[in-house]
Amino acid sequence: MFPIELDGVTKSYGEVRALDGVSLRVRAGEIHGLLGPNGAGKTTLMRIIAGLVPQDSGEVFIAGLNVRDAPRRTRRAVGFVPDSPFLYRYLTGRQYLEFAADLWGLPEDEKIKAVEDGLKRFGLADRAQHVIGSYSFGMRQKLAVAGALLQGPTVLVLDEPLTGFDPPSSRFMKDFLRSFADAGRAVFLSTHILELAHGLCDRVSIISDGRIILERETDGDATGFERSVLNAMDRSGGSS
């Protein structure tokens, strides 16, 4: 059983075919990167996995459950962090997490524990009483990830994480994502940064014009990896 499995997924917006028969599997313990040019379909694919947008055809399974048959359970099993998370700037960090926990319907005792754990894990406890509007970019991103973990997902999906982080925060988030995956869960993230994909991900899928054009491990040296990704994009007519 795979944490994420897609079989022949298609999605169109009017005349635009955003996804054209996407099949892929993300294994337990894996950080899987999704690379591709602008407009290739990455965000659409992530939103479908997160249960925010329905596919037109094809099947999506989360931890073996078909999202059509078990929409609530599969949505709960996925923590999703969009590229520009919406955070209420007049709420404090703690209030935001409490609000997000309420949306998941966490019982009071679980909510308190999940919120405090999130604040501590992401180094936000000292600023929990301050409004989000006063947070740095990195703190806001960490808060968004903490919010995506409240309901205890087994899969974390992140649209272009780690862009704009300073080096210590970037190191912290990479270590966090590694430990999340190492616990038998899975991370699926999109990025335009090839060095990041090579250094952090175990495998990558390259998407172009709504189709997966290459899937590969990130073993081997960075130059060879970069060459094979760029060659695949060149052959498909895209550029990142």
Residues that bind ligand ATP (CB under 6 A): 13, 16, 18, 36, 38-44
Residue 154 CA to residue 139 CA, distance in Å, equals: 23
Q: Which is nearer to ligand ATP, 16 or 52 (CB)?
A: 16
Give the CA angle between residues 35, 2, 175 to the nearest 5°.
55
CB of 88 to ligand ATP, least distance (A): 23
Q: Which is nearer to ligand ATP, 20 or 116 (CB)?
A: 20
Strand 78-81 relative to strand 4-13: parallel, antiparallel, unpaired?
A: unpaired
Strand 155-159 relative to strand 78-81: parallel, antiparallel, unpaired?
A: parallel
CB of 48 to ligand ATP, least distance (A): 10
Give the CA angle between residues 149, 139, 74 to the nearest 5°.
20
Q: Which is nearer to ligand ATP, 24 or 146 (CB)?
A: 24
Q: Which residues, other chains included, contact 105 with Cβ-Cβ below 8 Å and sequence gap of 6+?
A: none
The tokens describing 179, both together, are: 């430990």
Q: Which is nearer to ligand ATP, 67 or 97 (CB)?
A: 67
Q: Which is nearer to ligand ATP, 39 or 123 (CB)?
A: 39
CB of 215 to ligand ATP, least distance (A): 16
3 state SS of 20: strand
Q: Which is nearer to ligand ATP, 146 or 214 (CB)?
A: 214
CB of 43 to ligand ATP, least distance (A): 3
CB of 96 to ligand ATP, least distance (A): 25
CB of 50 to ligand ATP, least distance (A): 13
User: Please, are residues 145 and 68 in contact by the beta-carbon 8 Å criterion?
Assistant: no
Cα 60 to Cα 38, 45, 134, 170, distances in angstroms: 23, 10, 39, 31
User: Please, are residues 44 and 18 in contact by the beta-carbon 8 Å criterion?
Assistant: yes
